Structure 1
């Protein structure tokens, strides 16, 4: 993910380059050769830190073989001709028994030279294939919603993480204050996510020795407030605006008195401390309940909360390197049916169906390697909607042990975000019924008008998906498209 959770697929070194690298390592090299050795072409980047641990997992079952939320090592690949000989560009060939049994030549090298003088590696198909599957959905990464209860903004006002007002890192002091509720990068920590021990270490090492700098910072703030106060008084009296108050004009006694007033106004003091230490903002509701009310006679305008206030800012770029799309506003064109109103639905796996009798929990659906989040409201995913005997509803409420791999349903990906721990959160919605029929025909799961064609009738296809009452007749001799007609390697079905 960018410098963190992004999956990087690098070209493996050739055997000749590997031999030259081993020769250069045995003698002193020129500055140009040393620069080449440390480049991305002849070296692998150091692994990034692993994802933060979940303290609640200590009381739950944890699988040591489960896939971590994001990769920490570079993914290395090689050509098919080099793979059969075990040549992946390292000092020694990798064993064929392990590397040739996988579908894709993808390896994750944990250590080139271990204590046993072997190359410690493992398959990297888990994260790399997940990246491929996610990119096939053409789903951009959006900014998290500041208020989870705001369902209107969740569905209507999706905002890409690459927008100019939020994807900014090189900011001056004024811009940092103005964009505090929009930017994602901060030099200070997120206090709401720190443990008691980490908070004490932060106070001892980063805060306590900056007391003099904080007093100098407060002098500038106090001087600016006094200048604004004098300007308002002069404007009310009809007098010319006096010169601004300089920092040198403020005495230590005045600064001490200003500090006493700030102690009675905890919210203003917290904002000044956050501005000085560049702390990540906390949830607006939490700050209002913990910091208390404003001091008498003071006024503070509350801006819209930060989208990262509830769960903390991300550990890398909010896109996580998964997708660089800014929008999904494009129209897909079908070979036979023309431009489609909706995007092609995605087949998802039902990981855990809901209890059909008690409805004790919502179903869990896996999409492109992620456990998707169910939509809110009265939909077919939750338990508030009346049950029916449709194929979609039966798959969500019944555990089918006869199907290989479990039950699968078609869903429509809606949005995806990255939380503070580097986990990808994918939201799905119900897929349009006509889009499901078109997609099933495309992948060879049957034709849309199979029964009509077998009977020799003329299928009636809606001319405009928005108005299902408008139809256009297709010639009876025309066979609807299937996987073979689209060149997907399957022969067309024969009709009697």
Structure 2
């Protein structure tokens, strides 16, 4: 079989460039009537194109494995660790359209330095505080298809064949209805099988209640068209029975929960929920795997080993940048927003909030402070929501952890080259 493959086909099969995954759709804009100014160069919430890296021996020649070399002015001269993403391999002007990919690549590297697993949102879908860590790789929450054993707890999943109806517009819903109407014969055949099974089950129970011996001839295996039409009318009049069958046939994602004030009404029911997290029923199924590929750790069952003091209970402190401080008085913001490891978070622990208010320069914006206000934290939890955004929960680093690594006060003036990435400074032995 290998001898029949042409040289060009064999070259394409072994090419790493053709093995790149297809581009993802960019995130849609938020549905709002308020005018929002957006930047074309702003970092997207998640990467849409794969990142390409080349060895140092090929980098000096500008060789990236593409059709033509890339200019050094836009790669090696502009970054110490050049990474690119390809928009088009060849344009009408005979050039390769590319952009730097250091934003998402360095963010991934920063996150992996935290050695932090991604938590699931099964126990608490609104916030990470006060919830127990459950890995997104657990077998009870990492199912793609329905398991055979529905009685066990291993039937939760995050991916569905059908769309999430609550997040569709009217035009998308009408387009989906046209597609669904073509499956009407298959659905009627499925309903006939379900009604026949229920009728046979009722006959079997009736014979058992009467104490008769079960025989195959006494159990109906087929039904006439008239009986099927009568049973179909009964199903249409009962949304609680027809809804689960429609949901199971189309494999629709779990809809949002009906408010309690409408429970007494006779509404449509989509069947039992098998979604891996209540958040996916409220915001829709996740766009990617719940881990988003940023970490494959399952637990935090590891400790940092200090070269002198040995194993430590608290992790190594990380430096965060204060983006918006919590204000005082009327009109002040209720939450503090910080940036850590390339992510922005406002989920701050209670002990960190008290320490955050005591620091100088944290209550007001100080434009004279080089690099902005800094803050030493420890990252407790990480989660990826249904929209593909990473949510972190941080808390203030303990005094013992900061003293062990010789961390100076974060709000002091720092050099301009210091970024929000974790950086540590050693105290002088004589100080």
What range is the shorter-chain TM-score in?
0.7 to 0.9
What is the TM-score normalised by the length of structure 2? 0.82
User: Structure 2 CA distance, aligned partners of 1:158 and 1:266?
Assistant: 38
User: Structure 2 CA distance, aligned partners of 1:389 and 1:204?
Assistant: 57
The corresponding residue for 1:346 is 318
C-alpha contact (below 8 Å) 1:133/1:368 kept by paired residues: yes
The corresponding residue for 2:308 is 336
Picking from 415, 436, 444, the partner of 2:381 is 415
After superposition, the C-alpha distances for 1:203-259 in whole angstroms (9 at most, x for unaligned) are 102x10111111111122223333333344444444445659978522333333333
Give the SS at the match of 1:414: strand
The corresponding residue for 2:224 is 251
Tell me the matched-pair count.
Answer: 410
Task: Indicate how the Cα distance of structure 1 residues 388 and 136 shifts in structure 2: closer, same or farther if over 3 A, else same.
Answer: closer
C-alpha contact (below 8 Å) 2:159/2:285 kept by paired residues: yes
Give the SS at the match of 1:325: coil
User: Structure 2 CA distance, aligned partners of 1:136 and 1:190?
Assistant: 35
User: Structure 1 CA distance, aligned partners of 2:7 and 2:254?
Assistant: 46
Task: Indicate how the Cα distance of structure 1 residues 303 and 110 shifts in structure 2: closer, same or farther if over 3 A, else same.
Answer: closer
User: Structure 1 CA distance, aligned partners of 2:401 and 2:86?
Assistant: 42
After superposition, the C-alpha distances for 1:260-304 in whole angstroms (9 at most, x for unaligned) are 333343233222111000111122346994894479xxx999668
User: Structure 2 CA distance, aligned partners of 1:310 and 1:117?
Assistant: 47
Alignment of 1:289-304 (within 5 A): 289=262, 292-293=265-266
User: Structure 1 CA distance, aligned partners of 2:176 and 2:271?
Assistant: 30
The corresponding residue for 2:398 is 432
After superposition, the C-alpha distances for 1:88-125 in whole angstroms (9 at most, x for unaligned) are 23332222222122121211121121111111111110
Alignment of 1:246-395 (within 5 A): 248-285=221-258, 289=262, 292-293=265-266, 306-307=276-277, 308-358=280-330, 359-375=332-348, 380-381=352-353, 390-391=358-359, 394=360
Tell me, which stretches of 5 or more residues in structure 2 are unaligned?
A: 410-422
Picking from 91, 96, 117, the partner of 1:119 is 96
User: Structure 1 CA distance, aligned partners of 2:101 and 2:72?
Assistant: 16
Give the SS at the match of 2:47: coil
Alignment of 1:163-202 (within 5 A): 163-169=138-144, 171=146, 174=148, 182-202=156-176
Tell me, which stretches of 5 or more residues in structure 1 are unaligned?
A: 1-28, 447-487
User: Structure 1 CA distance, aligned partners of 2:118 and 2:37?
Assistant: 31
User: Structure 1 CA distance, aligned partners of 2:239 and 2:261?
Assistant: 10
C-alpha contact (below 8 Å) 2:140/2:154 kept by paired residues: no
User: Structure 2 CA distance, aligned partners of 1:170 and 1:292?
Assistant: 32
Q: How far off is 1:371 after superposition?
A: 1.3
Q: How far off is 1:309 after superposition?
A: 0.9
User: Structure 1 CA distance, aligned partners of 2:164 and 2:232?
Assistant: 25
Give the SS at the match of 2:319: strand
Alignment of 1:60-75 (within 5 A): 60-75=36-51
Task: Indicate how the Cα distance of structure 1 residues 219 and 339 shifts in structure 2: closer, same or farther if over 3 A, else same.
Answer: same
After superposition, the C-alpha distances for 1:152-197 in whole angstroms (9 at most, x for unaligned) are x96343221211222233556x468977961112111111111111
The corresponding residue for 2:428 is 493
Structure 1 residue 101 corresponds to structure 2 residue 78: yes
What is the TM-score normalised by the length of structure 1? 0.72
Structure 1 residue 203 corresponds to structure 2 residue 177: yes
Q: How far off is 1:323 after superposition?
A: 0.9
The corresponding residue for 2:416 is none
Task: Indicate how the Cα distance of structure 1 residues 233 and 243 shifts in structure 2: closer, same or farther if over 3 A, else same.
Answer: same
The corresponding residue for 2:107 is 130
User: Structure 1 CA distance, aligned partners of 2:276 and 2:131?
Assistant: 18
Q: How far off is 1:374 after superposition?
A: 0.9
The corresponding residue for 1:87 is 63
Task: Indicate how the Cα distance of structure 1 residues 287 and 72 shifts in structure 2: closer, same or farther if over 3 A, else same.
Answer: farther
Task: Indicate how the Cα distance of structure 1 residues 234 and 245 shifts in structure 2: closer, same or farther if over 3 A, else same.
Answer: closer
Task: Indicate how the Cα distance of structure 1 residues 155 and 146 shifts in structure 2: closer, same or farther if over 3 A, else same.
Answer: closer
After superposition, the C-alpha distances for 1:348-405 in whole angstroms (9 at most, x for unaligned) are 11111122223333121112111124158x5554xxx7x98522xx554332222222
C-alpha contact (below 8 Å) 2:129/2:393 kept by paired residues: no
Give the SS at the match of 2:230: helix
User: Structure 2 CA distance, aligned partners of 1:245 and 1:417?
Assistant: 56
After superposition, the C-alpha distances for 1:26-48 in whole angstroms (9 at most, x for unaligned) are xxx95355133233435352532
Task: Indicate how the Cα distance of structure 1 residues 45 and 79 shifts in structure 2: closer, same or farther if over 3 A, else same.
Answer: closer
User: Structure 2 CA distance, aligned partners of 1:180 and 1:194?
Assistant: 29
Structure 1 residue 36 corresponds to structure 2 residue 7: no
Q: How far off is 1:134 after superposition?
A: 0.9
The corresponding residue for 1:220 is 193
Give the SS at the match of 2:46: coil
C-alpha contact (below 8 Å) 2:140/2:155 kept by paired residues: no
The alignment's C-alpha RMSD in Å is 3.6
- Indicate the larger mover: 65-74 or 255-264: 255-264
